[in-house]
Each structure stands twice: as structure tokens, then as C-alpha cells.
Amino acid sequence: MSINLQQLKQTQLSLANQVRLSDDFNELINFIGGTDVGFEDGGNITRAAIVVLSYPNFSVVEYHVARLKTEFPYIPGFLSFREYPALLAAWQQIKQKPDLLLVDGQGIAHPRRLGIASHLGLLLDMPTIGVAKKRLCGQYETLPKQAGNVTPLLDKKEQIGWVLQSKNNCNPLFISAGHRVSQTSALKWVNLCLRGYRLPEPTRWADAIASNKSLFKKLLNEK
DNA sequence: GCGACAG
DNA sequence: ATCTTGTCGC
């Protein structure tokens, strides 16, 4: 069985047509989620973590990790086909569904406007925001290394996201709307989830849980 | 043709 | 993403 990228591109274009970039979620956020995906056994196992935090105090309410056999290779521009199955498995276990979900990776800042945040948002019919550590496409002006600076991420003349200096002297974050969230709100909510670290709290916790980092170990000791 | 390329 | 210790800078 081989992968037909031309076919998948058509699928992405069709799905991208269904993405909505107007705010369609309750402005009163009580729970906010974060996702992260990692791999084990040389990539044979995909590990997805989803965490739900209370807002605005950011305490961990619930989290789940799902491990599935990896069925798709990593191909730039087709990341979601590799990662969404495990994310869906983790999502099914979440009881307290969040009001908003921050996804690791791009939203519409994608060649065909369907990064994993947008794709997952459609599959879950959830408001999502893409939070990526690297750029996939688009161009932007160099910005000062001081936290708080922002510049548009552009593809030709179209704004596909934002480049945000989330912390001093760190590499910037690439923020873009996923689904049911406007570009303006995407940036706004990521900023509201920043607590002195490069990554917004939901993403930071999902990353810690997925990789069993010290932040997560401390949480386990408290229980 | 050449380089870029989320996780 | 992942393999991995110390180390430079804020």
C-alpha cells in the first residue's frame, strides 16, 4: 500500500473549505485544553497527550495519554494524518471537554490551510488554535527578542498567522487559527495562557505529560 | 533546477 | 519527533 499525496492534497483542500475562522465558542472560558504528540520505539508507536486545565488558574483538571501503532510517516504538510489517530484516542477518554483547545503545530498556517490544529478542530468540532515552535510556510519580519513582540505571518499578501515572541531571548512561536476561532482571538488566547514560559500553559503541560518531564513528576507527587 | 520543510 | 551532557547567556 502506498500513499497517494495528490489524493490527500485534495482531501485537505476539501476539509480546509469547512474550516471557519470566526469566533464560535463561549467567551467565558472555564476549561482550556492542550495537546502534544511524541514517538516511541523509533517512531513505531505514536504517543498523544491531552490535558485539560481550569481557567484562569491553570490547575490540571484531567489528562490522558494514548499510545497507538504509527501508521503514517512524517511528511511536511501532511503531519495531521500521522498524528490525529492517537489524538482522537486520547480525546475519547477526556470527560471534561475544554472550551478551547491549543494544538501543537500549525492551524491554517499551512500550504493548503489545513495544519493539524485545523484538521483536529474539524474532526472534533472544537474551537482550536495552532501553536507551533517552527514555521512551516509563510514569511515574516524579524522581530525584537523581547517578550510581547508580534508580527504577522504572511503568505503572499494573506495573513495566515502570527509570529509571537512569547519570552525574552527565545525563539518565537507561530500562532494561527485552527477552527472556529478568529486570528485575533488565537493570538489573544495564547497570550492569556502565557505564564513566563515560552509555551502557553496548556501546551507546556501537555508536553510535560507526554514526555514525563519534571513538571509532570511534581504533579504526581502532590497526589 | 535548488532550497525549504509543523512533529 | 528522537538520540543526549555540559554549557553559555539572560
Can you give the residue ranges of every domain in chain A? 28-216
Q: Whose CA is nearest the C1' atom of nucleotide C9?
A: A169
Instruction: Give me the CA A137–C1' B3 separation in Å, rounded.
Output: 13
Angle formed at CA A170 by CA A182 and CA A146, multiple of 5 degrees: 75
Q: Find and list the nucleotides of strand C having atoms within 7 Å of a protein beta carbon.
A: 1-2, 10
Strand C at less than 7 A from CB of A37? yes
Report the SS3 class of residue A222. Answer: helix
Fold annotation for A28-216: archaeoglobus fulgidus dsm 4304 fold (3.30.2170)
Strand B at less than 7 A from CB of A74? yes
Strand C at less than 7 A from CB of A168? yes
Contacts of A18 (CB under 8 A, 6+ apart): A122
Could you give the C-alpha distances from A35 to A24, A94, A209, in angstroms and in order?
20, 12, 10
pLDDT tens for chain A, 223 residues: list them. 789 999 999 999 999 999 999 999 998 999 999 999 999 999 999 999 999 999 999 999 999 999 999 999 999 999 999 999 999 999 999 999 999 999 999 999 999 999 999 999 999 999 999 999 999 999 999 999 999 999 999 999 999 999 999 999 999 999 999 999 999 999 999 999 999 999 999 999 999 988 877 888 888 876 5
**Dist CA A123 CA A48 (whole Å):** 16
Burial class (CB in 10 A: 0-12, 13-18, 19+), A64: middle
pTM over cut 0.75:
yes
Strand B at less than 7 A from CB of A139? no
Decide: A206 and A46 in contact? Cβ < 8 Å: no
**Dist CA A21 CA A84 (whole Å):** 21
Length of chain A: 223
Residues of A comprising the binding site?
36, 104
Give the three cell numbers for residue A210: 507526554
Report the SS3 class of residue A41. Answer: helix
